[in-house]
Amino acid sequence: MPGFEFFGEEERKEVNDVLETGILMRYGFDGARKGHWKAKELEKAITEVFGAAYAQLTSSGTSALTTAMAALGIGAGDEVIMPSFTFVASFEAVLSVGAIPVLVDVDDTLTLDPAAVRAAITPRTKCIMPVHMCGSPADLDALQQLCKAHSLILLEDACQSIGARYKGKFLGTIGDAGTFSFDFVKTITCAEGGVVMTNKKEVYVKSDGYTDHGHDHQGVDRGADLHPFIGYNYRISELHAAVGLAQIRKLDTFLALQKKNCALLREQLAQVPEISFRRVPEGGEDSCTFLSWFLPTAEITAAVVEEMRAQQVMPGSFYWFVNNWHYIRKWDHLKQALALHAISDEQKNALTALNSASFAASDEIMSRCISTSISLLWTEQQVREKGEKIADAVRTVLAAHAQKA
């Protein structure tokens, strides 16, 4: 990761097709665009590559989640169960439709702990939203069973796991709907963009209208479209779609390189007995955007992070426990309900209650976890050198820790 590492003539060609017509909007101007419909082409490619029946492009992964929730009927007062380890966009989307984010612990998959989800279900729960973090799936069988037992929606946030699978199916195509992000640092990038995928026609039709001010897109003349419901402007542009169209054709190459480099790095780190690795649920296939690894204690992990910084091998590795974008421990703006506009009392009460909520199980896991991003451009020698430097940093800290003991 990410796909921008492989920008080339293919992306330039697709973008120039759009620039030569001057039609940057995905809808209308049929004659002037000279047959170029990049967004439509990319949506078709997404359904063909990933196996979803329908795909609706959006302006971002965040807007894709918001769109999916609206299309699935998730709204004011509904509870959405989500993990304590994710990107801030996940709870932003929940709040944007008036729903209430209910955060629960993750397990050693770095995704939703099914037992924690089960304990959090109430009569107001509408949706379970697994976030397939850092390239690997949640335990979807267990979560689907909970959804079936309680008549709940399963919405997959697969924004960080393009190309990962669960029991042969691509993540994002298994639940009632799923989303990808195509932002600048994702496996496939449009620079900015996202997609809602679904196998339900009704969800697709609603997503199609919702992303374009409620247009039904049934007429020949855009100005004559009807508006069966309120929508918003979450459209992707033809320029962004053009970049994604070139990128999706390279996906197999991206995934092969990620898996090769990830396996090499894991081989290096596995030489240190005290290092363990994230668990991939049975039937899951990691896309290998990251190698996520664990150390024995939080104290040792924090010391390793400092040693890696001192040896200048920390860039590209992430200690999520102290990261203010990805883990609840640092989401003060969420826990204090610091919105620029008034939010409902229900939302405000739920958010402020997070200040006293315990996420001890997540803390125990995340405080010992480091994730190292996998570059597509590494040579085998560079991977081995990086792995050896990280391993050396770990050994240095372990030796110092043993001396203290």
* 126-180 pLDDT tens trace: 999 999 999 999 999 999 999 999 999 999 999 999 999 999 999 999 999 999 9
**Domain termination residue (choose one: 216, 233, 251):** 251
List, as one string, the DSSP characters of 52-100: -SEEEEESSHHHHHHHHHHHTT--TT-EEEEESBS-HHHHHHHHHTT-E
Question: Which pLDDT belongs to residue 3?
Answer: 83
Tell me which of 126, 186, 206, 386 is the catalytic residue.
Answer: 186
Q: Are residues 267 and 158 in the same domain?
A: no
Separation between Cα atoms, residue 307 and residue 69, nearest integer Å:
43
What 3-state DSSP class applies to 121? coil
**Domain termination residue (choose one: 200, 231, 251):** 251
Question: Which pLDDT belongs to residue 190?
Answer: 97
333-387 pLDDT per residue, tens: 999 999 999 999 999 999 999 999 999 999 999 999 999 999 999 999 999 999 9
State the DSSP code for 212.
Answer: B
Contact 374, 291 (CB under 8 A): yes
The per-residue pLDDT of the chain, averaged, comes to 97
Look at residue 61 and tell me whether its pLDDT is greater than 80: yes
Q: Are residues 20 and 67 in the same domain?
A: yes
Q: Are residues 198 and 309 in the same domain?
A: no
Separation between Cα atoms, residue 278 and residue 177, nearest integer Å:
26
Q: Are residues 233 and 311 in the same domain?
A: no
Q: Quick one: which of 221, 289, 297 has its CA closest to 255?
A: 289
Q: Are residues 34 and 122 in the same domain?
A: yes
The residues that bridge with 100 in the sheet, in sequence order, are 79
Separation between Cα atoms, residue 106 and residue 85, nearest integer Å:
7
The range of the structural domain enclosing residue 347 comes to 252-404
Q: Which residues contact 366 (CB under 8 A, 6 or more apart)?
A: 85, 106, 320, 321, 327, 329
Q: What is the pTM of this model?
A: 0.97
Q: Are residues 74 and 215 in the same domain?
A: yes
The stretch 246-259 carries a mean pLDDT of: 97
Q: Are residues 233 and 376 in the same domain?
A: no
Q: Are residues 49 and 87 in the same domain?
A: yes
**Domain termination residue (choose one: 251, 278, 293):** 251
Q: Are residues 7 and 145 in the same domain?
A: yes
At 221, is the pLDDT very low, low, confident or very high (cuts 50, 70, 90)? confident
Catalytic site residue 186? yes
> At 163, which CATH number?
3.40.640.10
Distances (CA, A) of 350 to 76, 80, 114, 223: 13, 12, 21, 42
Q: Which residues contact 353 (CB under 8 A, 6 or more apart)?
A: none
Question: Which pLDDT belongs to residue 219?
Answer: 80
Q: Are residues 145 and 191 in the same domain?
A: yes
> At 377, which CATH number?
3.90.1150.10
Q: Are residues 174 and 233 in the same domain?
A: yes
Could you give the number of structural domains in the chain?
Answer: 2
Look at residue 103 and tell me whether its pLDDT is greater than 70: yes
Separation between Cα atoms, residue 78 and residue 155, nearest integer Å:
14
Q: Are residues 322 and 265 in the same domain?
A: yes
At 1, is the pLDDT very low, low, confident or very high (cuts 50, 70, 90)? low
